[in-house]
Amino acid sequence: MRNIRMTIAYDGFSYVGWQVQPNGPSVQVAVEKAIRKLTGQDVNVLAAGRTDSGVHALGQVASFRIDSPIPCEGIRKALVKFLPPDIAVRDVVEVPEDFHATFSAKWKQYRYVIHNSPDRNPFLKNHVWHQHGPLDSAAIHEAAQVLLGTHDFRSFESHWPNKATSIRTIYEVTVRRQNFCPLWFGETDAGMVAADSGDFIWLEIAGNGFLYNMVRAIVGTLLPVGRGRRTADEVRAMLESMNRSEAGDTAPAAGLYLVRVEYDDEWSASDADRDNA
């Protein structure tokens, strides 16, 4: 039995999320059906993060076990025929027996995209959060730095408690303007070196784990800072309150992307695989 790891990109608009749900189509079901059509085998595909309804992924990582001699690159190419056009497999590699897409992950990176323009772009409505009034991205960035480090993030967790603990560690959070919107993989690093100008505000956040709706609640809390209605000290007080009602609204799912999941080097099958992560 082989243990297979895949990196997947998808547009989450048409799905109720990654995980199988009774109320609509999920990304997991679409991927499992495609593998069944290719190999004739039923598999349970595990993901690094259970993205919610309407949330997108540029670098979701999934794993499954299969008894098939098809080479990894053959699996990747063949799945194109069986997957819907809003799901793409970026790479497929064979990994050690003890690799688990969920439990082996060391950290994740998410991106939230705000389209800050007087004019709404109808073609982006399912991929950004449109804000027509002026926003100070530098002020949002400064306020976001209070989130760095290890904290109890229950102020930004919907329907607490969902996990055994709400303590998480944020390694990096960056807010800056960009001149384009990421609708595909490949812009992970390019966006971070672009000039701090343009109509798109990207919030990039990396941590060892995230709670239910945590990133979207953070965005909703930080947005008033950009309008001059809230300060960094107030955001810190909301964090320390450990009370969801003290923090801001939950931002819409459309602007959220799972960008990257990182694992130990021992599970990186090749330099090419690391470059695509």
* CATH 3.40.50.12280 at 107-258, yes or no: no
Domain 2-104 has CATH 3.20.20.150: no
Residues annotated as part of the active site: 52
Q: List pLDDT tens digits, range 58-72.
A: 999 999 999 999 999
Q: What is the pLDDT of residues 73-124, one digit of tens each?
A: 999 999 999 999 999 999 999 999 999 999 999 999 999 999 999 999 999 9
Paired strand residues for 257: 56, 111
Task: Indicate yes or no: pTM above 0.85.
Answer: yes
The letter for the amino acid at 25 is P
Spell out the domain ranges in the chain.
Answer: 2-104, 107-258
Calpha distance 150→44 (Å, rounded): 33
Tell me the pLDDT band of 8, cut-offs 50, 70 and 90: very high
3-class secondary structure, 268: coil
pLDDT tens digits for 163-193? 789 999 999 999 999 887 765 555 444 444 4
CA distance 168 to 38: 39
Beta bridge partners of 114: 129, 201
Residue 1: C-alpha distances to residues 4, 43, 73, 96, 100 (Å): 10, 12, 18, 11, 14
pLDDT confidence of residue 44: 97
